Amino acid sequence: MEGPEFIQDARTVHQVILKNIHEDSDAYTYVKPFLRKRDGRKDLEALRLRYSSEASKQSKINKAKGDLTALRYKNERNFSFEKFSAKLQKAYDDLSASGREVNNGDIVDALWPRIESSELQIYLSSLKVEYQRSPRDYKSILQDIAAEVGTKTTTQFGGRSSANVSAAYTREGRCPNSGVHTPDGSIFIGSYDREKWQDETVKQYHHKIIEARDKGEAGYVKKSRSNKRKVNAIKRNKKQLEKLQAQIAAAKIQIKKVTFGQDLASDIDSPNNQAGNAFGGKNSKRKLNHNE
C-alpha cells in the first residue's frame, strides 16, 4: 500500500478510470475531488461508495423495471427495433448487475407480447415453435428478429411505403453514432472502429454486413440511379465533343484550300498576274522583241 510501485499502479488505475467515464457523467462528479491526487484507489472507493450502496442499486432496479414495463416495438417509424433491442438488453443487464437477474426463459416469455408489429407476427410464431423445441438465449432471438426487420426495409413496413425507403446497404457517409442504420434507413457496411464493431447494437448485424461486403454491395438505389445519370451525361458530352472535333477538322481543311489552293490558282490564271515577269516572263520577252 506504499512505495514507488504502489504509487505508479495507483496512477495507472486512475488514468484507466478517467478514460472510461465522461466529464458530464455522475461518475466524474464523484472522482473529481481526487483528481489532483491521481490515486486510482481513492477513485474506486468513491465510485463503490456511490454505486454499490443499496440505495443506488434500488434506484437502478426501479429504472430498469420501469423501462421494461413501457418497452414495446410497433414499427421502425415510431421506435426502431435496434433501439428497442438495445434498451431491452440494458434493462436486463442492469437488473443482473444489481443482483436481480431474470431467468432467460422468463425474458423470452415476456418478449413475444412486447413486439406488437403486425408484419412480424407470423415470423414470431415460427420462432416460438422453434424455441419450444430448442431453447436458446434471448439475445440470439433478438438478432433473428432484427434480421427479419432488415428484410422488410425495402417493402411497405410500419406505414412507410417502399418508394420512400432506400435499398438495404450503403458505404456512403460516416459510421452511425448508434447502431448500424443511417438516417435514410440503410445499413452502413463501411468501416467501423473496433469498439463500435463489438457493440451489442452492431453485433446483431455482423452477418448481414459481412455478407453485403462479400457481395460487393456498393450503395443504395438513389446512388445507382445517380451514377446512371452521370454515365449518360458523360456519353452525351463525349458525342458532342466528337461532333465539334469533326467540325473543327473540316474547318481546318477548308482554310487550307482557300489559303493554299484557290487563291494560288486564281493568281496564276489572272490576266494581271505579274508573277512571271520577275523571272523573264512573257512581258520581258515581248520587250526584247521590240528592241530588236
Domain boundaries, the chain: 4-51, 55-223, 229-269
Residue for grid cell 419450444? 132
Task: Give, for all 292 residues of the chain, the pLDDT tens digit.
Answer: 778 888 889 889 989 988 888 888 878 888 888 888 888 888 888 888 877 778 778 888 999 999 999 999 988 887 899 999 999 999 999 899 888 999 999 999 999 999 999 889 999 999 999 999 999 999 999 999 998 888 875 444 444 443 333 346 888 777 887 778 876 677 888 888 888 888 877 887 888 888 888 877 544 344 445 556 666 778 788 888 888 888 888 888 877 776 665 554 555 455 555 544 544 555 554 554 555 4
pLDDT at position 68: 94
Sheet strands (E) in 127-281: 169-170, 187-188
pLDDT at position 69: 93
Cα 2 to Cα 5, 9, 12, distances in angstroms: 8, 10, 15
Phi and psi for 115 in degrees, rounded to 5?
-95, 105
pLDDT at position 56: 79
pLDDT at position 1: 77
**DSSP code per residue over 73-136:** B--TTTS-HHHHHHHHHHHHHHHHHTT-PPPHHHHHHHHHHHB--GGGHHHHHHHHHHHHHS--
Residue 264: burial class (beta carbons within 10 Å; 0-12, 13-18, 19+): exposed
pLDDT at position 154: 46
CB within 8 Å of 283: residues ≥ 6 apart: 274, 277
pLDDT at position 184: 66
**pTM of structure:** 0.45
Nearest CA-CA partner of 44 in 9, 68, 76, 78: 9
Amino acid at 233: A
pLDDT at position 58: 87
pLDDT at position 221: 40
